[in-house]
Amino acid sequence: MRPSLAVLAASLTVLAACATPPEAAAPQADAQLAPARESVKPVQSADAYYTSAAAAVEARIAARGAKPAKNVILFIGDGMGISTITAARIYAGQSAGEDGESHHLAMDGLPYSALSKTYSHNFQISDSAGTAVAMVSGVKTLSGVLGVNSSVSYGNCASVPGTEVDTLFELAARAGLSTGLVSTARITHATPAAAYAKAPLRDWEADSDMKGASSDTCRDIARQLIEWPEGSFDILLGGGRSKFLTKETPDPEYAGRTGDRSDGRNLTEEWTAKSPDHTFAFDKAGFEATDFTTGVKLLGLFEPSHMQYELDREADRAGEPHIADMTRAAITRLSQNEDGYVLMVEGGRIDHAHHGGNAIRALEDTIAFDLAIATALEMTNPEDTLIIVTADHSHTLSISGYAQRNNPILGLSVSGLGGEGGSMGADGLPYTTLGYANGPGACRVTGKDSDSKDVLACGREDLTGVDTQAPDFRQPALVPLGSETHAGEDVAALASGPGANLISGVMEQNELFHVMGRAMGLIPAPAN
């Protein structure tokens, strides 16, 4: 295994100790949660999903109490189901030359945990938009929309007015707190965009994506970020700069590439024109040249689209900052506000690797994401900072068979017991420990037809002698699909710090907003 990952995995074991053990908290009145802040009812406070979640969290506060939180950091591993956490833990340990099964990730050390139910208003198995809205606004809404409730109509600009919801980031900004977003996906992608955008379709990231919808009636997501009514975020780090540049503007890194915008607006220039503190960076050098101990407001967009997978970023270290470095920069910058801050950190590419049926890249990105969690635990005070680690949804990754202890998690299943069947399927072929219920791994290209199109062979492949740990290996899948899908089971919600004691049992995903909002004193207790 690569030494860099071994060092990283070893560091996670040490940093996991930064998590705070649970402490008994005496019940406290709501006024004690954050006495210096005046709570405000969000516009969605009458929504049935909101009131139900608010009541559930209020019952926990009444029974257990909750200490006030100055800061909140919400870590979202996009697509990071429990099987992904388990597989990443084993992979990290094995990469470090340790026992993988008993290895510890930083997130494993968080003292409170719950299962989070991820369905949306209209989907049993949701997308990242509907789930992100639930976490940042306290309501469940339609899959595929941002910053609006379930009364909105898909792609219908006229249906947006009156359906908007207030997000945790908007409430924080109005209260004078600092705000930040970090993502390895496009900063206009569904999860980070849920913090600031109001859109009846998550795909409207640039005006050219709107396909006939009037940009005067509905603004694209990148434009909404630049024109955010609450002012501007204090730090924004991720990918997606093509959504901010015009079709005539050359990309600063890639020859022959330009932006996506057709309205002639270079939004990076509009950002830097806001004030002398507003700056823009497009590469690791610009990021590292920034002094985050100042009042700088950095818009860092490090790729035209999503940032690189961690496995590929390591081969191109000059190009992009690590998600842990971006997290460190964001905390350094936001911590200057004595009143506190709200920060979202998304490991966005875990999801994308799963969609490609490529487990190794999903696990590498999960370990990088975990190092960002370790960084936050190291940098923050557990007495004043609530940290929640969760996922928006799961994926169909499974860990199956009867592999023996220390068997490579990315390898073929080997039990070591022999006997009938052994580590072979009933068809006499070996199988991998990791697999997907559906996705591109169900088929393989065997050649080209007369029209130069791929000829596919679907079904079980003999993996004898195949390097299943190669970077581009796709784990076998059952149902052939061009892209593996999300999964609908509950995901983990792990927490430490003030208010973390409210994370327990089986929770509705939108209750996480109420835990954060109540701990910070940004939203009031529900009326009796």
Closest CA to 132 of 193, 54, 85: 193
Is the domain of 472 the same as that of 510?
A: no
Q: How many domains does the chain have?
A: 2
CA distance 346 to 344: 6
Is the domain of 48 the same as that of 167?
A: yes
Q: Which of 96-100, 210-214, 248-252 has the lowest mean pLDDT?
A: 210-214
CA distance 160 to 146: 10
CA distance 149 to 193: 15
Is the domain of 128 the same as that of 238?
A: yes
Q: Which pLDDT tens digit goes with each residue over 108-120?
A: 999 999 999 999 9
pLDDT score of 254 more than 70: yes
Domain membership flag for residue 528: no
What pLDDT score does 36 carry?
Answer: 65
Is the domain of 494 the same as that of 457?
A: no
Q: Which pLDDT tens digit goes with each residue over 370-401?
A: 999 999 999 999 999 999 999 999 999 999 99
Domain membership flag for residue 178: yes
Domain membership of residue 114 as a residue range: 3-399+489-519
Number of CB atoms found within 10 A of residue 248's CB: 11
Is the domain of 458 the same as that of 351?
A: no
Domain membership flag for residue 17: yes
Planar angle of CA 183, 237, 76, nearest 5 degrees: 25
What is the average pLDDT across 203-219?
Answer: 87
- Catalytic residue positions? 128
Is the domain of 364 the same as that of 465?
A: no
Torsion, Cα of 250, 253, 256, 258 (10° steps):
-40
What pLDDT score does 318 carry?
Answer: 61
Domain membership flag for residue 390: yes
Is the domain of 450 the same as that of 386?
A: no
pLDDT score of 6 more than 80: no
Is the domain of 80 the same as that of 13?
A: yes
Cα distances (angstroms) measured from residue 413 to each of 159, 358, 458, 460: 52, 17, 21, 15
Is the domain of 245 the same as that of 210?
A: yes
Q: Which pLDDT tens digit goes with each residue over 465-505?
A: 999 999 999 999 999 999 999 999 999 999 999 999 999 99
Closest CA to 69 of 462, 499, 528, 510: 499
What is the average pLDDT across 60-86?
Answer: 97
CA distance 147 to 224: 11
Contact residues for 351 (Cβ-Cβ < 8 A; gap 6+): 78, 79, 128, 185, 395
Q: Are 458 and 442 in contact (CB under 8 A)?
A: yes
CATH of the domain at 321: 3.40.720.10
